[in-house]
Amino acid sequence: VLDSQYGTYVWPCAVVLAQYVWAQRRNLPGRRVLEIGAGVSLPGVVAARCGAQVVLSDGEELPRCLRSCRRSCRMNRLPQVPVLGLTWGRLAPQLLALDPIDIILGSDVFFDPKDFEDILTTIYFLLEKNPRAQFWTTYQVRSADWSIEALLCKWKLKSIRVPLCSFGADKEHLASSSLPGRHTIEMMIISPAQSDGT
pLDDT digits (tens, 9 = 90+) for 132-154: 999 999 988 777 677 788 889 99
pLDDT score recorded for residue 198: 43
Tell me, what DSSP letter sits at residue 171? S
Percent of the chain residues topping a pLDDT of 90:
55
Distance CA 142, CA 139 (A): 9
Q: What CATH number was assigned to the domain covering residues 13-192? A: 3.40.50.150
Identify the CA nearest to 33 among candidates 104, 133, 132.
104
- pLDDT exceeds 70 at position 173: no
Domain boundaries of the chain, sorted by first residue: 13-192
pLDDT score recorded for residue 147: 78
Q: Is 40 left (phi over 0), alpha (psi -120 to 50) or beta?
A: alpha
| 36-83 pLDDT, tens digit each | 999 889 999 999 999 999 999 998 888 888 888 899 999 999 989 999
Between 197 and 104, where is the model more confident?
104
The distance between the two most distant Cα atoms of the chain, rounded to a whole number of Å, is 48
Produce one character per residue of 25-44: b if its CB has 16 or more CB atoms within 10 Å, e if not.
eeebeebbbbbbbbbbbbbb
Between 139 and 189, where is the model more confident?
189
